[in-house]
């Protein structure tokens, strides 16, 4: 597929997505040549991370919009929702980049009138982006004629992405320590300790406290669930069980259920102040149950194939 064809999916979303993709190597160079840090992380790490995330998000939604348009025609309200999401996400990455250039934080920052205005602008933009995404998601449920597995992957991914986006609002409430001694910051990524401190490479998620960025990230990128379905479709020519559309549907349903369980699990873990890779026995046990459940679902889905395709 040519880039020109992909851009035509939804031009505003693709424009923002491709612009953010271009920003990624620029941010990577910034991290290499600029030694400054902010809250213990390279100064340009945050704009780079958000550029990656927004690029994937916008390109994914542009493709999903094209699925709607191909079967229902160009729907003005749905197109406008995509435009709204594109504009507001562009505002978000712009504010984050400007604040990094000022060597200060973008999120939760009310330290000065300018910082407060930028954070408010970004907050309004995030809400608008969520509403635009909600409208786009609703349009997906009106699409008819899709393969059952593809329909399930698209719709489940959209709903989980909405939940993941909404989880960001858990971070916007001032912590008890911030309310007791306000220092210009109202909100936090981490639970149990102030923001900053040791973090995982690249993503920066706390290794010493719960981090709500984990469920936010995992939830948002459920939008890529259709990639699993595409993989199953490509493998169907080599693996006979996958040639049955009902088997693919059941496998996608298992994946969607497992992803939902994973999102609930990491949210529960973060809210209890646990780092992602330092689970307590309860979290470890829940993880084991989830893994066994998904494995069982995969086995049951594949076992249906012989009964559904006799004579093979």
Task: Please say whether the structural domain 1-145 has been given the CATH code 1.10.8.
Answer: no
Instruction: Determine the Cα–Cα distance for residues 65 and 75; give it in Å rounded to an integer.
Output: 10
How far, in whole angstroms, is CA 282 from its chain's centroid? 26
Q: What is the pLDDT of residue 105?
A: 92
What are the tens digits of pLDDT across the range 243-267? 888 999 999 999 999 999 999 999 9
Question: At 305, is the pLDDT very low, low, confident or very high (cuts 50, 70, 90)?
Answer: low
* CA 256 vs CA 53, 148, 231, 268, 269: distances in Å: 21, 14, 15, 18, 20
Higher pLDDT, 308 or 49: 49
Q: How confident is the model at residue 311 (pLDDT cuts 50, 70, 90)?
A: very low
Where in the chain do CATH 1.20.120 domains reside? 1-145
**pLDDT tens track for 198-247:** 989 888 899 999 999 999 999 999 988 988 988 988 898 888 888 888 99
Find the mean pLDDT for residues 131-143.
Answer: 88
Token digits of residue 122: 């970004």
Cα–Cα distance, 48 to 53 (Å, whole number): 9
- DSSP of 58-122, one letter per residue? HHHHHHHHHHHHHHH---HHHHHHHHHHHHHHHHHHHHHHHHHHTTS--TTB-SSHHHHHHHHHH
Q: Which residues of 227-256 are buried (b: 16+ CB within 10 A; e: fewer)?
A: ebbeebbeebeeeebbbbbebbbbbbbbbb
Residue 309: per-residue pLDDT = 45
Place of tokens 């996958």: 242
Which DSSP helix (H) or strand (E) runs through 211? strand 210-211
């Amino acid at each position: 597929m040519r880039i020109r064809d992909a851009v035509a999916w939804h031009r505003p979303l693709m424009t923002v997505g491709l612009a953010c993709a271009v920003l990624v190597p620029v941010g990577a160079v910034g991290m290499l040549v600029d030694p400054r840090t902010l809250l213990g992380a390279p100064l340009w790490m945050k704009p780079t991370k958000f550029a990656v995330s927004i690029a994937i998000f916008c390109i994914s939604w542009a493709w999903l919009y094209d699925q709607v348009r191909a079967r229902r025609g160009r729907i003005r309200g749905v197109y406008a929702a995509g435009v709204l999401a594109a504009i507001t996400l562009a505002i978000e990455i712009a504010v984050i980049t400007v604040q990094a250039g000022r060597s200060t934080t973008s999120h939760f920052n009310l330290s000065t009138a300018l910082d407060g205005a930028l954070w408010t602008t970004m907050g309004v933009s995030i809400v608008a982006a969520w509403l635009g995404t909600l409208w786009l998601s609703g349009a997906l449920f009106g699409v008819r004629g899709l393969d059952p597995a593809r329909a399930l992957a698209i719709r489940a991914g959209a709903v989980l992405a909405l939940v993941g986006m909404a989880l960001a609002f858990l971070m916007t409430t001032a912590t008890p320590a911030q309310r007791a001694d306000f220092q210009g910051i109202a909100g936090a990524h981490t639970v149990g300790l102030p923001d900053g401190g040791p973090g995982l490479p690249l993503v920066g998620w706390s290794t010493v406290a719960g981090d709500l960025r984990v469920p936010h990230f995992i939830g948002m990128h459920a939008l890529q669930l259709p990639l699993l379905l595409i993989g199953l479709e490509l493998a169907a020519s080599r693996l006979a069980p996958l040639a049955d559309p009902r088997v693919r549907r059941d496998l996608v349903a298992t994946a969607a259920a497992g992803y939902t369980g994973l999102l609930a699990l990491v949210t529960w873990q973060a809210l209890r102040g646990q780092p992602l890779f330092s689970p307590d026995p309860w979290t470890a046990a829940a993880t084991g149950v989830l893994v066994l459940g998904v494995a069982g679902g995969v086995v049951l889905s594949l076992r249906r194939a012989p009964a559904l395709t006799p004579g093979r």
